[in-house]
Amino acid sequence: MSTARPLKKLVSCIILDLDGTLLNTDGIVSEVLKVYLGKYGKQWDGREVQKIAGKTPLEAASAVVEDYGLSCTTNELLSEITPLFSNQWCNIKALPGSYRLLKHLSGHRAPMALASNSPRENIETKLSFHQGWKESFSVIIGGDECSKTVNISSANLSTEGYASLLSEHPSGVYFGWAGLSTRGDFKMVMSIGWNPYFNNTEKTIEPWLLHDFDEDFYGEELRLIIVGYIRPEANFSSLESLIEKIHEDGRIAEEALELPLYSKYKGDSYLKIST
By annotation, the residues acting in catalysis are 17, 19, 206
- 154 CB-side CA count, 13 A: 23
26 and 86 Cβ atoms separated by less than 8 Å: no
Closest CA to 68 of 45, 100, 86: 45
Contact predicate 143/118, CB 8 Å: yes
Helix 120-128 crosses helix 74-86 at what angle (to 10 degrees)?
Answer: 20
In the 8-state DSSP scheme, what is residue 201?
Answer: S
The single-letter code of the amino acid at 258 is E
Max Cα distance, the chain (Å) = 77
Taking the CA atoms of residue 79, residue 81, residue 84 and residue 90 in that order, the dihedral angle to the nearest 10 degrees is -100
d(CA 179, CA 225): 9
Residue 112's nearest CA partner among 14, 23, 17 is: 14
Residue 88's identity, in one-letter code, is Q
Q: Which helix (H) or strand (E) holds 248?
A: helix 239-256
User: CA separation (Å) from 6 to 3, 9, 10, 51?
Assistant: 10, 9, 12, 45
